[in-house]
Amino acid sequence: MYEIIIIVMFVALLVALFFIYKNLQEAKYNKDILDSVPDIILIYKNSKLVEVNKSFFNYFDKYSSLAEFIKANDSISYFFEQEEGYLNPLALDGSSWFEYVKQIKVARVKIRIEKKEYYFSINFSILENNINCLLFSDITQLVKSQKEINNLIFFDPETHIGNRRYCDEKIKQEVAVAQRYKHDLSIVMLEIDKFKELEDLHGEIVAHKLQIAYVKLILSLLREIDIYCRFSENKFIIILPSTNLAGARQVAQKLKDAVSLSQKVLHVTMSFGVTAYLPGTEITSFLTKADKALQSAQESGTNRIVIL
């Protein structure tokens, strides 16, 4: 649905661009025409910003003129924010964001103005020699709606980390990367020891609050690239990109120690199953191996780490 809306918007933008192009040629950049368009329009001449429409100042309302904006900012890219899937001016192989968009014609960007965040689709068009038009269409509500849908689909509402579906998607991606680039990949399966007994003794509400507290603790100890998901009701999994078996063992040990040291009221321990990906292994087998390692750790006692 989201993709269909974007396609419809893009077609509408192409029609708008044609209209603007036609009228700009005839009216020599008639300002009234520019200002009638609800999207932000930026006109560049020889890669230099020379004109904007009224909608531009609906967002950049701190400035009363283009000259004032240019004096305060070297480029609109000053307001760009990094987010996966959106234009990042710091990672364009030395080329400017403008030249990059000029090549690909269509892009998406996240912009922060003061304390507000916006998402825009950018469409690039050549009006005439050395004169180019960029349309910034506000897709903020569409992006937020898509994120809300993704949260419902891919994230656990109780712990706010990835759910099993998210785990399955991510592990497919990481296995593909590991196979293609011959990178290490490991996973750690973990569970609070005797969690059912904790529920029976202290009640479901207390037990689950405890579970959430330890999710937060573990999140604080992981790298940014690590992927932490709820695998089942009481089991959790950590996907560790670029990590061999020894490294995964160290991660499990660090987490086990942190859980032991964090105890304040209730005596809580965790068990961990650790395994590394072997080229050619089926994903199901990879996960099953970690699950068996965890089961072995729990059967041999509590507060254990087992490597398979």
Domains and CATH numbers, the chain: 2-145 (3.30.450.20), 155-307 (3.30.70.270)
pLDDT at residue number 21: 52
CB within 8 Å of 46: residues ≥ 6 apart:
130
CA 212/CA 158 separation, integer angstroms: 8
pLDDT per position as a tens digit, 167-197: 999 999 999 999 999 999 999 999 998 888 8
The two three-digit tokens of residue 243, written as one number: 């990590």
**DSSP H/E element including 106:** strand 106-113
Half-sphere exposure of 31 (CA within 13 A, CB side): 5
The two three-digit tokens of residue 45, written as one number: 């001449």
Give percent of the chain above pLDDT 70.
87
Average the pLDDT over 237-263 and give the result. Answer: 93
pLDDT per position as a tens digit, 100-147: 898 899 999 999 999 899 999 999 998 888 899 999 999 999 999 988
CA 108/CA 88 separation, integer angstroms: 10
Would you place residue 211 in the very low, low, confident or very high pLDDT band (cuts 50, 70, 90)?
Answer: confident
Smallest CA-to-CA distance from 155 within 220, 228, 210 is with 228
Cβ atoms 43, 128 nearer than 8 A? no
Average the pLDDT over 83-93 and give the result. Answer: 76
Cβ atoms 192, 206 nearer than 8 A? no
pLDDT at residue number 4: 53
| 226 pLDDT more than 70 | yes
Q: How far is CA 162 from the centre of its chain?
A: 12
Give percent of the chain above pLDDT 90.
56
| 210 pLDDT more than 80 | yes
pLDDT per position as a tens digit, 212-225: 999 999 999 999 99
- Arithmetic mean of pLDDT over the chain: 86
pLDDT per position as a tens digit, 37-80: 899 999 999 889 999 999 999 999 999 999 999 999 988 988 99
pLDDT at residue number 87: 87
CA 190/CA 101 separation, integer angstroms: 45
| 10 pLDDT more than 60 | no
pLDDT at residue number 27: 46
